[in-house]
Structure 1
């Protein structure tokens, strides 16, 4: 799933130049909402939802300076550490604070989902469907100088944007990024590879090893990119095998054999070598991204039909979400596993959770204790959460957290 943070300057912000009116939603979308029991009135609340930004840790002393650049005050979000609200019409892309990586846009509901994962120092974390990268950055912030972070996305150009974001915010030292299909990704974190390589004294004699990462592409890679652009593929399809496009200098890969790092996991390894925490940010119809839906008035409602309402695409999403939610399960240790979407439909949320639980007897649905202080409501299944514009003053988001029972 993509965090639907607004691309700065890409489209005019609805309501900037005139009083906001109820959005004239097209009949096909109204039918979609009716079929899923959703109230179309929620899409007229976009102008009342504040814009959220996250302040990079350590930048608190510069708040006054940032406020001067933005020409507005930063209102602290009481229930979410490090988050602030600014007026919806404020643009941040042209400010030094944004360009220097001191602030970035991320919806408060998305920030809450990351907190629910309960990342601890030293954890090995997997972020599936990582683009465009705001959640990935927050995860890297929480890990600090310990553990590791692995980001996966099926679209290479989108994951390349994540790479740029990590470098901009100086958060990529312990991160590696794979272009891969999240439903079949099975590469273990670096800690497992170190265990497998115990006893090796000369890595160079045992195959090709990773040197420090560089942004310079080989001639072969440039030719592949040129060919993809010419055919219009834009790397939207994952390679047959995961492709590593970035690794930080402290990600643990430098000096390791490529054959060890890039080989898929086998079942007996995952009991002790899997990821501590996994974020399954599932691809969905994005109907809960209120401000994003509102932009289709400018982009054209036919684009909405193609991206959200196309029956074949919706059916494919529903068929994808259950295996997508469970595919990384066997490479998870006993730690947290979080499933979330920005859809407000039951079909893409509660139904997926129920199917997942029915197929994974070792999965235990967990209560999110932090939610006791959050402005959200319970989902249709106990222990799950729903954020929405009316209750939460955020975009719509569904969150379910699991742990893996010892076997």
Structure 2
């Protein structure tokens, strides 16, 4: 049944769902006025006039987020030379804020536990500069392959490795590398017959056959990570398979885990207006199944909790983790955070530096933030930042 009093093309069940989460249904009518956002690759600032001429619109600088610009919602960038040459890419400003909250600096070893489709991964690699590493993990091989395409397109792959695996059980620590070199601190420097050589998409036939056999045997559950890309300074080259796939203990991770971890968890995507409005074509029954079904959302919140818990386990003491979802529901955000904090005495929520200038609201848990289309002129996003205390 459709609601007849709100003039919104939303089913009554969804409106009730929004009201239960303290959300105004009118936010889903703002698609036409909500801008699109792009990130300009650092060093391309002198080309803004040229990009504006090609796109036939102004690039409006986002004052609260470096290198971000807003453009009118109807502008498409995919066919532009600026996009094709890797000078700009689309990423919502709220997602950019989640990455910015991590405070990635050169030399960091960063983990993106739900990396696909790759825009946030590219931003982290940009911030990393010429040292450290970024490890991208995703359970969907085809989606992680899109990440691989992005990092190669934007020439950001030197310090990156991508692994197809389940983020709730991933247990590989970062490969520590010397700044500007391709040799790993943890791998011996003598030549090894089974060491990883420079990455190439043209893998030997036997290696491709072994990988295909592994994928077929594991089906939906990936027991061992599948390395589908690594850069020359990612710390992989020179390592043996046993060294690279060594399962790290909790004690090892406490001292040599990741400096920064992003857990942008799978969610119902109800914070994205454009995503929700797709259900007008897909059918509102599909929305009720994907967003409102209690059994599915219970499974989803358990997945989010497990991703957050494992991401935090992989973080070294003193490191920072950002948990985010593009859902506006309490169950997928504040409730997950509360459940996680209740069982982790070494976890502490942090204030997000510079967030006092961000156009967002406070979350239902102190020190958490909520972006929404009305307040922020972005997609909806929940952000929480943790640090790992030494115990």
Q: Same fold (TM over 0.5)?
A: yes
1:238/1:103 CA distance change after superposition, 3 Å: farther
Say if 2:303 is the partner of 1:317: no
1:151-300 equivalences under 5 Å are 151-191=136-176, 194-197=184-187, 200=188, 202-204=190-192, 208-219=194-205, 237-300=220-283
Distance of 1:34 and 1:221 partners within structure 2: 53
By relative contact order (CA 8 Å, sep 6+), the higher-ranking structure is 1
* RMSD over equivalenced CA pairs, Å: 2.4
Q: CA deviation at 1:305?
A: 3.5
Distance of 1:49 and 1:354 partners within structure 2: 32
Residue 50 of structure 2 is aligned with which of 65, 70, 84? 65
Task: Give the TM-score of the pair, scaled to structure 1.
Answer: 0.87
Say if 2:14 is the partner of 1:26: no
Of 371-380 and 319-328, deviating more is 319-328
Residue 337 of structure 1 is aligned with which of 321, 325, 332? 321
Distance of 2:207 and 2:290 partners within structure 1: 30
Distance of 2:204 and 2:16 partners within structure 1: 50
In 2, are the aligned partners of 1:127 and 1:136 still within 8 Å (CA)? Answer: yes
Distance of 1:348 and 1:257 partners within structure 2: 40
Distance of 2:8 and 2:245 partners within structure 1: 48
Q: CA deviation at 1:358?
A: 0.8
Distance of 1:274 and 1:35 partners within structure 2: 39
In 2, are the aligned partners of 1:203 and 1:256 still within 8 Å (CA)? Answer: no
Q: CA deviation at 1:218?
A: 4.4
Say if 2:62 is the partner of 1:77: yes
In 2, are the aligned partners of 1:189 and 1:274 still within 8 Å (CA)? Answer: yes
- Name the counterpart of 1:399: 383
1:367/1:217 CA distance change after superposition, 3 Å: same
Q: Once the two structures are superposed, what CA deviation does each residue of 1:145-183 show, in whole Å capped at 9, x if it has no partner? A: 111000000100000000001100001110000111111
1:341-352 equivalences under 5 Å are 341-352=325-336
Aligned residues: 380
Task: Give the TM-score of the pair, scaled to structure 2.
Answer: 0.91
Q: Which runs of 5 or more structure 1 residues have no equivalent in the other structure?
A: 1-20
Of 43-52 and 236-245, deviating more is 236-245
- Name the counterpart of 1:366: 350
Q: CA deviation at 1:228?
A: 11
In 1, are the aligned partners of 2:132 and 2:176 still within 8 Å (CA)? Answer: no
Residue 362 of structure 2 is aligned with which of 329, 354, 378? 378
Distance of 1:176 and 1:33 partners within structure 2: 39
Of 61-70 and 29-38, deviating more is 29-38
Q: Which runs of 5 or more structure 2 residues have no equivalent in the other structure?
A: 1-5, 178-182
